[in-house]
Amino acid sequence: EIVMTQSPGTLSVSPGERATLSCRASQSVSSNLAWYQQKPGQAPRLLIHGASTRATGIPARFSGSGSGTEFTLTISSLQSEDFAVYYCQQYNNWPPWTFGQGTKVEIK
């Protein structure tokens, strides 16, 4: 099973600033990585797949990069609606599909 590790656990950022979230895989997942956003009381929402392809309707301020074992989600200028928990997920070796433990982006 591939273990996904996200850092930091919590990221405190001011509105308008850049946020950089990391995700590491225990072995290579190529570019088969997705990012999700989850707000309280809501289901996760797909943001990025293929490590860097934005899902339909996702604003351009969200960008993903990386391949192999190291990945980054960048939010270029945080808006109030971006404060949430973010999860990465690998789909290179399955089953099982595996998620990271999440990074909470909170208002500084």
Partner 1 sequence: QLQLQESGPGLVKPSETLSLTCTVSGGSISGSSYYWGWIRQPPGKGLEWIGSIYYSGSIYYNPSLKSRVTMSVDTSKNQFSLNLSSVTAADTAVYYCSSAVYYFDYWGQGTLVTVSS
Tell me which residues touch partner 1 (CB under 8 A). 1, 32, 34, 36, 42-46, 49, 55, 87, 89, 91, 94-102
- Least distance between partner 1 and beta carbon 16 (Å): 28
| Smallest separation, CB 94 to partner 1 (Å) | 7
Q: Which tokens is 53 given?
A: 């392809």
In angstroms, rounded to a whole number, what is the distance separating the alpha carbons of residues 69 and 16? 29
CB of 17 vs partner 1, minimal distance in Å = 25
Task: State the number of CA atoms in the 13 A half-sphere of 102 facing the CB.
Answer: 12
